[in-house]
Structure 1
Amino acid sequence: MKKTMTKLRNEQEVNRTLLQDSTANKDAVLAKYKSQIQGLSDLEAQTRENKYGKNITAEQKPTPWYINLAKSCNDPFIYILAILTIISYLTADIEATIIMSIMILFSVFLSFTQSMRAQKASLSLKNMIENTTAIIRDGIQKEIPIHDVVPGDIVFLSTGDIIPADARILEAKDLFINQSPLTGESIPIEKFTEASEKSLSIFERDNLAFRGRESKVQIYNAKKKRKPCYE
């Protein structure tokens, strides 16, 4: 319960910060985070990483083996075999009872091992793939791992990019972002740079971008300001 309440407070704090920054102009946002269009220096970026930590979110934990085992048993074919096994036992057909019991065990074992192997392969593939993003440091554009982005970084987005962090858009031209996992809207949302009205909800503010594996840029040519991450 304590961890849940802490997470809720952190999310509320992030939302308040996003709402405040969405109503501020570009210069005010840069000043607030002591940043500039030319980006942070490598030294300042390292200092901020030491202070705020890595730009990571809680990873989804692997499904426990007993959950996979329960799912393997939850199969209509297993139910039918179990019913037939009970009937065979009640009718004293021992041979059929043994055969169908073996079939049940084999079917569950096969399904369970396949699900565990698939999960292991998926985790291995995920660990092999490192998502990167384009940022500017010391006036030079470079690619860095998403988890190395720090508060105040200037992040460049292009078509197909995953949003690396909740952000305030500073510069944009024909920028559309798919926010369907967050809002349910199937049509990409066009983003702008002007300050938003205070009466709008957080997802209605078109100068904000939100982190997510499925929140992706649709049209090329954009520059944005990264927002702080709160663990």
Structure 2
Amino acid sequence: MSDPDPTSAWWLEPAPAATQGLSRSEAQERLAHHGPNTLESSHQRPLALQFLARFRNPLVLVLLAASAVSAATGDAANFFIIMALVLLSVTLDFVQEHRADRAAQKLRESVALRATVIRDGRQQELPVSALVPGDVVLLAAGERIPADGRLIEARDFFVNQALLTGESYPVEKRPGELDRGATELQQAANAVFMGSSVVSGSARVRIMATGAATALGEVAHSIQSEPPATAFEVGMHRFAMLLVRVTLWMVLFVMLVTSCCTGRCSNPSCSPSRWRWA
């Protein structure tokens, strides 16, 4: 039995011939190859460090420098205004990312804990994390679908897959071949996906993708990963770096001019008494 390709629209491939599941040895080999059927959880830094990391933005650093100059010159009004804007911007950015992390965590928690699997020709209750591509799983009303799979048998089988497709009503699933143009998840009438729930009926499903290779795994990854910078963000970053460079050059120029003037004025020939006698 060959492994399915989780990167393609596998529900368009011919129906699987083997429907009796895997042996224990086959399952162990595939588990070692594919890994456990769990969604990847990125390492979470402490919230305080996540918040402080927002201050590394060049524009934020420029604003902090401006607020420091305002404080040093006694301009309290500008100091408080700039600091308030910086804290507001950093806080909004932090809250947005924290909400995205919580959404990804809820996706991971929405998956069932155990599943009924056919191993060695008999039904077994196994942890969902032990499922591998090629396993045959039995599903019934009220259960969570533990992985992406292709229907082998189904009887009045309806699932709620709004988590993935946004469809507000349960969708009927049935085995069979589909048109080659049915490449979207909502068109996959012969497949079920991790995180969906069984509303009614029963089915026998062959697992095709597990863990991060599932449709739900891709959603969780897209939520957690940082989106590419927009053109506005790139422009703001470049502008901030330009401000930093200009500020540094101005500081160096002022220091150089001040040093030269101080050196000239320290010369005895620059004293007012010498000017009067001259």
Q: Within the alignment, does 1:16 sit opposite 2:8 as a pair? A: yes
Alignment deviations for residues 201-223 of structure 1 (CA, whole Å, 9 cap, x no partner): 322120011112xx111113211
1:86 maps to which residue? none
Q: CA 1:130–1:18 in 2, change beyond 3 Å: closer, same or farther? A: closer
1:154 maps to which residue? 136
Letter in 2 for 1:140: R
Whole-angstrom distance in 1 between the partners of 2:30 and 2:183: 30
Q: Which is greater in Rg?
A: 2
Runs of 4+ in 1 over 6 A off after TM superposition: none
Correspondent of 1:210 among 170, 175, 193: 193
Q: CA 1:210–1:60 in 2, change beyond 3 Å: closer, same or farther? A: farther
Aligned CA-pair RMSD: 3.6
Corresponding residue pairs, total: 163
Whole-angstrom distance in 2 between the partners of 1:199 and 1:142: 37
- Give yes or no for contact 1:41–1:138 (8 Å, CA) kept in 2: yes
2:151 maps to which residue? 169
- Give yes or no for contact 1:15–1:202 (8 Å, CA) kept in 2: no
Whole-angstrom distance in 2 between the partners of 1:158 and 1:202: 25
1:187 maps to which residue? 169
2:37 maps to which residue? 55
Identity %: 33
SS at match of 2:209: coil
2:125 maps to which residue? 143
Letter in 1 for 2:170: P
SS at match of 1:227: strand
- Give yes or no for contact 1:133–1:155 (8 Å, CA) kept in 2: yes
Unaligned runs of 5+ in 2: 53-75, 77-101, 214-278
Offset at residue 158 of structure 1 (A): 1.2
SS at match of 2:8: helix
Offset at residue 138 of structure 1 (A): 1.4
Whole-angstrom distance in 2 between the partners of 1:163 and 1:63: 31
Whole-angstrom distance in 1 between the partners of 2:126 and 2:190: 24
Letter in 1 for 2:10: L
Offset at residue 51 of structure 1 (A): 2.3
1:219 maps to which residue? 200
Letter in 2 for 1:49: L
- Give yes or no for contact 1:19–1:202 (8 Å, CA) kept in 2: no
Q: CA 1:62–1:161 in 2, change beyond 3 Å: closer, same or farther? A: farther
- Give yes or no for contact 2:112–2:146 (8 Å, CA) kept in 1: no
Alignment deviations for residues 1-49 of structure 1 (CA, whole Å, 9 cap, x no partner): xxxxxxxxxxxx624152443xx23xxx23xxxx433x21112211221
Whole-angstrom distance in 2 between the partners of 1:130 and 1:206: 22
